Amino acid sequence: MGGEVVSGGIGRSVRRPDGPDKVSGAFPYAGDLRVPGMLQARTLRSPHPRARIGRIDTAAARRLPGVAAVVTAADVPGVATYGLIVADQPVFAATEVRYAGEPVAAVAAVDAATARRALAAIEVDYEPLRPSTDPERVLAADAEPLHPAGNLFREIDIRHGEPGVDGPVVVEDHYVVGMQDQAFLAPEAALVSPAADGGVDLRVATQWLHSDREQLAACLGIPENLVRLTLAGVGGAFGGREDVTVQIHGALLARAAGAPVRIAYDRVESFLGHPHRHPARMWFRHTATADGELVSVQARLVMDGGAYASSSPAVLANAVTHAAGPYRVPHARLHGVVVRTNNPPCGAMRGFGVPQVTIGHEAQMDRLADALGLDPVELRARNAVRPGDVLPTGQVLGAPLPARELIQLVAARPLPPPPAADVTGLARPGGLPAAAEPGRVRRGVGYALAYKNLLFSEGMDDSSAARVRLDLTDDGTPRVRVHSACAEVGQGFVTIAGQIARTELGVEQVDLAPADTAVGSAGSTSASRQTWMSGGAVRGACVAVADRLLARVARAAGLPAEVVEAPRRTLRIAAGEIVGVEAGLRVRLADALAEGPIEADYTFHHRRTTALGADGQGDPHVAFAGAAHRAVVDVDIDLGLVRVVSMALAQDCGTVLNPLSLRGQVEGGTAQGLGLALMEELVTVDGVVTNPNFHDYLLPTIADVPDLDFVAVTEPQPDAPYGVKGVGEAPTCTAAPAIVAAIRAAVGRDLRRVPVRPQDLVDLPTRADVHTAGDASTA
C-alpha cells in the first residue's frame, strides 16, 4: 500500500530502535534487571560426566543464614523432565547424572556469595560410573543404555536413485567437525517473581517465549495461563537459548522462597548450561563422470547429541537431507544417526546441522575437482541444482535457488592484492606479535557453495501470531501498535516490524509492545524464520486493520456495498490520508480514526510440508536459501598460523527489506563460520569441557574478520511476505568450508578436521624423534 510515501518503510536501511542504547551501554539485558528484595540464585552442577547419585543432603545449606530456598529433583511438583522435542532431560538429576555440568540442585540466597557458600554446603554422594563418550560406540549391541529411552535419538536413511551406480571418478574420505558453542555475549539470565494468583512472572532472555511457557507449566504443575513470560534484553542467541536453562530453576526457587529471584549465569556456567553445536564424524563418497557430472553421493553421519535429546532429531534431519549439498545428484544414499553419549548435550545452533555436512561435501567437491583436473568453481557450477530438480528426499526444489549464479558471481569478485613481502602488524598471520615470517607465508583461495532450509521442516506448522492496533495518540496523531511474541535476539525484528507497519498503514509512528505471552506464539527465533513468519503475521494484521479502516471510510462516505466489501480496489492509504481517486474521496487518517481505534489479529502459516517417510522420502522443507563464499587466506607454513585476508559472499536473499540489517546478518554469519573454521571449539576430555571461558574458547575479534565483499541476489520468494528469504544462516554454512578450502590450497594438504588447528598444518616432531635427537646431541 502507501509504501512509497511514508519514510522508514520496507527496503530502507532503517536503524535499529535499540541501537543507540546498545552501543552506549544503556540497553538493559536480562542480567541487568534488579528489583527490591530480589534473591540471587546459583546452580549446583555435577563435576562427573556420569555418576549414580546416592543421596543429596541439603540440610546444612538450608540452615545457612541468608539462604532462602534450596531445590532439588524432589521439589519439582510437575513433570520431572523437560525438552524441546521429547521431555527426556531431568529438571534436576535425581538418581543419575549423565553429563558434566548437569544441574543437581539450585539455591536462592540474599546475595551471590551466600548462594555460593550454600552450594558448597550441599552434600551429594556421587558414585562415578564410566562415561560413554565415543559416539561411534554407543550403538554397539553390547553398549549400555545411558538413559531409559536408549542411546539412539534418531536414524535417517535416504535412498535416492538406484543403489550401486557409480561414476568412474571416485573420492572418498572421513571428516570431523568439533563442538562449536553459540558463545553469545550476554549469559543466560532471568528475573522470576511469584505472583499472588499462584502463578509466576518471568522476564527472561530466550528465543521462544511460548515454548518456555509450555515446559515451565508442565514442570511446575500449573496451568499455562499462570505462567507469564516477558522477553528481557537478549544479548545474542544463535540457537543457544532455544532450550530451557534458567527458567524452571528460577521459577521453582521463586515459588519456594516466595520472593523474586534473579538467576544469571557467569561465563563458565553459560558454557556448561546450554546445548552446543553437534560434533560430527562424517564419511563421504562422491563419484562423477570423467567430464565432471556427479553420479552418486554416499554419506554416513554420526552426530553426537550428548546426554539429552534437545533438538537432536531435527538437527539430524537437516544434516542428512542437506548432505549432498546444492548439487544435482542422480543417485544417493545418505545415512545418519544422532546418538546419546555422556558428552554435553548438543542442540540448535545457527545453521542447524547444515554447517557440519557442508564441511564434508565441499571438501569432497574440491577433491573431485582435483581428481578431474577441473576448476573448483567450474565443477560446482556444472553440478549446481536448479529449481525443478528432484532432491535426494524426492522434494522438488522450488524457485528461486540461483546456486550456479551464486558461485559464479562470487568467483568474479576482484581478488585482493598478493601478500606484500614487507607486511607488518595485523596483516601477518598471527598479528602484531609478528611471529610469522613473510617469506614463509603462502596464499590460498577457496570456495564453498551451500543451501540451507528456511523455517521449520517436516510437517511442523510453526505459525506466528501478531496483533496490530491503529489509534490516535493524545495529540491526535495516528499511531500503530504492534504486539508480537517474536523474540528479538539481535536479528532485527524490532526494526522490520516497524518498517512493515509503516509500509502497510502509511503511519510513521509505530510502537512495538513488549514481546510476551499475552499474545499468541510467534514461534522460535531460529531457522531463519522470523522476518518471513512474524513479518508475515505483522503484515497480515496490518492488512486486516487497513481493510477495516477503508471499509469504515467507504461506509461513512456512502460508497456502494461492493466497495465496502472490497474497499482496497477503490481506496488506498497514502501519506496519512485515505484516498479514493475515482470516488473523489480524501479523508485524513486522523479523522477516520476519530470514531475509534481498529485492531486485528493475524496468524501466518507457511506452506505445509511432510515428514520424512520410508527411505527418507518426502517434502520436508518449506524453502531454501543459497550462499557462496570465496575465502582468501595467508598461512605461515612453518607455524600453521592462518590469517583470513578477504571474504566475498554472494547470497540468495529474496527481497531485501532492510539492506543495513541484511549486512549485519551476513557479516555475523560469516564471522561465526570463520570461528568454526579456525578457532571455536569446546574441547572435552572424557566428557568434561576443558575450556569453558574466553581465554581458551577463542572467538574471532575484529582483527580476525576482514571486510566482507557482499553481493545480494534478490529474486523474490513466492509465498513469503514481500518475497523475503531468511538470511542469517546460509552464510554461516559456507564461510567455514570456504576458509578450509583456501587453507588447503595454501598448504597443499587435505584437511579433515574443523576447526583447523595450527598443528594440523605442519609436520610435527614425535616424542620419539625429539627424544632420540636430544639423546644424540647430549651424547
The one segment of 126-134, 564-572, 728-736, 745-753 that binds other proteins by CB under 8 A: 745-753
The one segment of 317-325, 446-454, 589-597, 676-684 that binds other proteins by CB under 8 A: 676-684
The footprint of other proteins on residues 513-532 (CB under 8 A) is: none
Sign of CA dihedral 516, 518, 522, 526: positive
Tell me how many residues contact other proteins (CB under 8 A).
57
Output phi, psi for 443, to 5 deg. -95, 145
Q: Which of 455, 643, 721, 745 binds other proteins (CB under 8 A)?
A: 643
Peptide bond into 755 cis (omega under 30): yes
The footprint of other proteins on residues 251-270 (CB under 8 A) is: 266, 268
Question: Contact 238/522 with Cβ under 8 angstroms?
Answer: no
Shortest approach of other proteins to residue 750 CB, angstroms?
A: 7
Cα angle 486-487-491, degrees, rounded to a multiple of 5: 105
Q: Which is nearer to other proteins, 419 or 723 (CB)?
A: 419
112 to 131: interface string for other proteins, x by CB under 8 A: xx--x---------------
d(CA 469, CA 485): 15
431 near other proteins, judged by CB under 8 A: yes
d(CA 70, CA 51): 22
Q: Which of 102, 462, 681, 729 binds other proteins (CB under 8 A)?
A: 681
Q: Which of 39, 252, 678, 720 binds other proteins (CB under 8 A)?
A: 678
Q: Which is nearer to other proteins, 329 or 751 (CB)?
A: 751
The one segment of 70-78, 571-579, 663-671, 678-686 that binds other proteins by CB under 8 A: 678-686
Question: Contact 241/204 with Cβ under 8 angstroms?
Answer: no
Q: Which of 23, 149, 426, 566 binds other proteins (CB under 8 A)?
A: 426
Q: Which is nearer to other proteins, 320 or 761 (CB)?
A: 761
Question: Contact 278/304 with Cβ under 8 angstroms?
Answer: yes
750 near other proteins, judged by CB under 8 A: yes
Shortest approach of other proteins to residue 679 CB, angstroms?
A: 5
Residue for grid cell 522438488: 396
Shortest approach of other proteins to residue 636 CB, angstroms?
A: 9
64 near other proteins, judged by CB under 8 A: no
695 near other proteins, judged by CB under 8 A: yes
690 near other proteins, judged by CB under 8 A: yes
The one segment of 162-170, 429-437, 481-489, 574-582 that binds other proteins by CB under 8 A: 429-437
Q: Which of 4, 111, 197, 707 binds other proteins (CB under 8 A)?
A: 111
3-state secondary structure of 32: helix
The one segment of 204-212, 313-321, 606-614, 767-775 that binds other proteins by CB under 8 A: 767-775
**Taking the C-alpha atoms of 454, 459, 460 and 463 in order, what is their torsion angle to the nearest 10 degrees?**
80
Shortest approach of other proteins to residue 423 CB, angstroms?
A: 13
Cα angle 570-572-578, degrees, rounded to a multiple of 5: 110
701 to 730: interface string for other proteins, x by CB under 8 A: x-xx--------------------------
d(CA 232, CA 205): 5
Amino acid of residue 359? I
Our measurement of the distance from residue 46's CA atom to the centroid of its chain's CA atoms, rounded to an integer in Å, reads 27
d(CA 177, CA 368): 20
3-state secondary structure of 406: helix
Q: Which is nearer to other proteins, 113 or 412 (CB)?
A: 113
Question: Contact 486/534 with Cβ under 8 angstroms?
Answer: yes
Burial of 474 (0-12, 13-18, 19+ CB in 10 A): exposed
Q: Which is nearer to other proteins, 55 or 695 (CB)?
A: 695
747 near other proteins, judged by CB under 8 A: yes
Cell of 293: 557430472
764 near other proteins, judged by CB under 8 A: yes
For 49, 309, 630, 646, the CA distances from 742, given in Å and listed in that order, are 37, 35, 8, 11
Q: Output DSSP code: residue 227.
A: E
The one segment of 94-102, 127-135, 572-580, 693-701 that binds other proteins by CB under 8 A: 693-701
- 228 closest CA partner among 207, 249, 203: 203
Q: Which of 164, 433, 558, 584 binds other proteins (CB under 8 A)?
A: 433
Query: Which residues does residue 227 pair with via DSSP β-bridges, in sequence order?
Result: 200
- Residues contacting 764, CB < 8 A, separation 6+: none
Cell of 572: 488506498
Q: Which is nearer to other proteins, 171 or 747 (CB)?
A: 747
Q: Which of 152, 226, 698, 711 binds other proteins (CB under 8 A)?
A: 698
185 near other proteins, judged by CB under 8 A: no
Shortest approach of other proteins to residue 268 CB, angstroms?
A: 7
Q: Which is nearer to other proteins, 146 or 177 (CB)?
A: 177
Shortest approach of other proteins to residue 242 CB, angstroms?
A: 26
- Number of C-beta neighbours around residue 585 at 10 A: 18
Amino acid of residue 764? L
3-state secondary structure of 550: helix
Question: Contact 61/70 with Cβ under 8 angstroms?
Answer: yes
d(CA 183, CA 681): 10
Amino acid of residue 487? A
757 near other proteins, judged by CB under 8 A: yes
438 near other proteins, judged by CB under 8 A: no
Q: Which of 93, 546, 641, 645 binds other proteins (CB under 8 A)?
A: 641
Q: Which of 142, 164, 766, 779 binds other proteins (CB under 8 A)?
A: 766
- Residues contacting 575, CB < 8 A, separation 6+: 2, 5, 6, 506
Q: Which is nearer to other proteins, 383 or 670 (CB)?
A: 670
Question: Contact 10/657 with Cβ under 8 angstroms?
Answer: yes
The one segment of 525-533, 583-591, 598-606, 753-761 that binds other proteins by CB under 8 A: 753-761
List of residues contacting other proteins (CB under 8 A): 111-113, 116, 266, 268, 426, 430-435, 437, 439-440, 637-641, 643, 678-679, 681, 683, 690-691, 695-698, 700-701, 703-704, 747-750, 757-759, 761-767, 769-771, 773-774, 777-778
